[in-house]
Structure 1
Amino acid sequence: MPTPHNPVLAGKKALVVGIANEHSIAYGCAHAFHTLGAQLAITYLNDKARPHVEPLAQALAAPIVLPLDVEKEGDIEAVFRVIEDTWGRLDIVVHSIAFAPKADLQGGLLTCSAEGFKRAMDVSCHSFVRMARLAAPLMNEGGTMFAMSYHGAQKVVPNYNVMGPVKAALEAACRYLAYELGPQGIRVHPVSPGPLKTRAASGLKDFDLLLNEVAGRAPVGELVDIDDVGFACAYLATPYARRLTGQTLYVDGGVNIMA
């Protein structure tokens, strides 16, 4: 996609959390922000992920590339310290991470362990609240925060299991953060992409069947891709969307409107 003549995010500083590889939704967001002129801070989960993420960060000219495991005490704070020391401000945050232990994810909700539910909620939901708490003071000129959800937060999607209630909590958290941060000019968006072939989605049972079913039901007649999600988020981060906040944005080709 060509660089626009008017990069509407020029000068903006964006933190993108959740890139695992070039198929990640987070990468679609980072690519869109970069295309529209923003500077990027990018994180990777651990040393195993680093070789896959660093080349992508280099291609996007990201000046900040850091490890971040939200279950590791102090990691989130360390990332925001570097951002504050390097930039002194922040305009955009993307939270695109989720986790549940495999046994709890692939079993039904009734069989989900308390520990598995707790970890899923902490990584997939509460870590966004913790990031928002640290990001808000750096958004002294306003800003935009994004968290990635899925339609299983609103309706029952077979095999989505424990992640349905967890993503519902994430969407509710976004609404409450939108209310609390609105007076500071900070907007908060839960974004609900249609199913995509990402590494995270590969852990869901019968995911290929879901992809085929959704493609057949989408009013636009095809699945969305990570660039669709990325540029939708980029639009919401521009002044053109300055009065939008708190509502779940579906980027799914219209599947959510179908009975």
Structure 2
Amino acid sequence: MSPIVDLAGRRGLVVGIANEHSIAAGCAAAFRQAGAELAITYLNEKALPFVQPVADALKASIVVPCDVRIQGQLEAVFARIEREWGRFDFLLHSIAFAPREDLQTSIVNCSAEGFALAMDVSCHSFIRMAKLAAPLMKDGGALLTVSFYGADRVVENYNLMGPVKAALESSVRYLAADLADRRIRANTISAGAIRTRAASGIGRFDEFLDKVRERTPAQRLVGIEDVGRVAAFLASEAGSALTGSVVYADGGFHTIA
């Protein structure tokens, strides 16, 4: 009998690995363990030494730069995939950014420019990726992105990223509806609080981790491996009944008032 999560013969693109501790790295490892062939992106040459060991461990077929703020780089990623693979089956979008001065101030004090940049990188880039991916998902496919509880509830010090992640979750629902006739699913993974490089920009994050641990039913924080298993499920045929959903991978934290 085949395993429930089987990605053998499937190809996927993972965007957002910063280092081995990234949520995207945990997801990529789960995809690979399930049998998928992967394409991996890295932000820039400064980031490459941290991403290349991860790509090597995953035996990634394609390793390519991608900074969605640089005109043409995102399109070049998909052109490379089309040239080398011709088609692919799933995509993980795990990127977010806000200028530090806008992230570390209250929502009423963030700048219009900072808010717009955070929305462009963290939300609209997923829509851009969906548009580029759809023609290459010739047999249907899965689009995944990563969100956080702060999209649904006010989380102290999460600030402008709360509305940005809320927009991302809403965009996923609309993409799921738009692309259903192509048999392309879109889902959000709402990951639990995990100590990553991206999280380091959130004020007093260590204190928040302690509070999350106390409120989680099993009093255990989730890890990137936990999120990865959920991502692999959603990318596989086992997750074919789910689209337009926010799937929580947070150990039940979101269920506790």
Question: The TM-score by the shorter chain falls in which range?
Answer: over 0.9
Equivalent residue, structure 1, for 2:16: 18
Cα deviation for residue 135 of structure 1 reads 0.2
Equivalent residue, structure 1, for 2:155: 157
Does the CA contact (< 8 Å) of 1:17 and 1:26 recur in 2? Answer: yes
Does the CA contact (< 8 Å) of 1:7 and 1:35 recur in 2? Answer: no
Quote the sequence identity (%).
57
Equivalent residue, structure 2, for 1:38: 36
Cα deviation for residue 152 of structure 1 reads 0.4
> Counterparts in 2 of 1:120-199, with a 5 A limit?
120-199=118-197
Equivalent residue, structure 2, for 1:98: 96
Cα deviation for residue 221 of structure 1 reads 1.9
| Matching of residue 228 in structure 1 with residue 226 in structure 2 | yes
C-alpha distance in 2 between matches for 1:183 and 1:20: 34
Q: Could you say if the C-alpha distance between residues 5 and 168 of structure 1 is closer, same or farther in structure 2, counting changes exceeding 3 Å?
A: closer
Q: Which secondary structure state, in structure 2, belongs to the residue aligned with residue 190 of structure 1?
A: strand
Does the CA contact (< 8 Å) of 1:143 and 1:186 recur in 2? Answer: yes
Does the CA contact (< 8 Å) of 2:5 and 2:232 recur in 1? Answer: no
Does the CA contact (< 8 Å) of 1:92 and 1:144 recur in 2? Answer: yes
C-alpha distance in 2 between matches for 1:189 and 1:217: 26
C-alpha distance in 2 between matches for 1:224 and 1:27: 14
Encode CA deviations 1:199-249: one digit per residue, 9 max, x unaligned.
000000000001000011101220000010011010111111211111101
Structure 1 portions without partners, runs of 5+? none
Encode CA deviations 1:139-183: one digit per residue, 9 max, x unaligned.
110100111110100000010000000000000000000000111
Does the CA contact (< 8 Å) of 1:70 and 1:123 recur in 2? Answer: yes
C-alpha distance in 2 between matches for 1:64 and 1:109: 39
| Aligned with residue 212 of structure 1, among 203, 210, 213 | 210
TM-score, length-scaled by structure 2: 0.98
After the TM superposition, which segments of 4 or more aligned residues of structure 1 sit over 6 Å from their partners?
4-7
Q: Could you say if the C-alpha distance between residues 59 and 154 of structure 1 is closer, same or farther in structure 2, counting changes exceeding 3 Å?
A: same
Q: Which secondary structure state, in structure 2, belongs to the residue aligned with residue 147 of structure 1?
A: strand
C-alpha distance in 2 between matches for 1:247 and 1:6: 20
Structure 2 portions without partners, runs of 5+? none
C-alpha distance in 2 between matches for 1:192 and 1:6: 22
Q: State how many pairs are aligned.
A: 256
Encode CA deviations 1:39-79: one digit per residue, 9 max, x unaligned.
00000000100011011101100010000000000001000
Encode CA deviations 1:113-146: one digit per residue, 9 max, x unaligned.
0000000000000000000000001011010011
Higher alpha-carbon deviation: 234-243 or 65-74: 234-243
C-alpha distance in 2 between matches for 1:153 and 1:6: 30
Does the CA contact (< 8 Å) of 2:44 and 2:65 recur in 1? Answer: yes
TM-score, length-scaled by structure 1: 0.97
Q: Could you say if the C-alpha distance between residues 58 and 209 of structure 1 is closer, same or farther in structure 2, counting changes exceeding 3 Å?
A: same
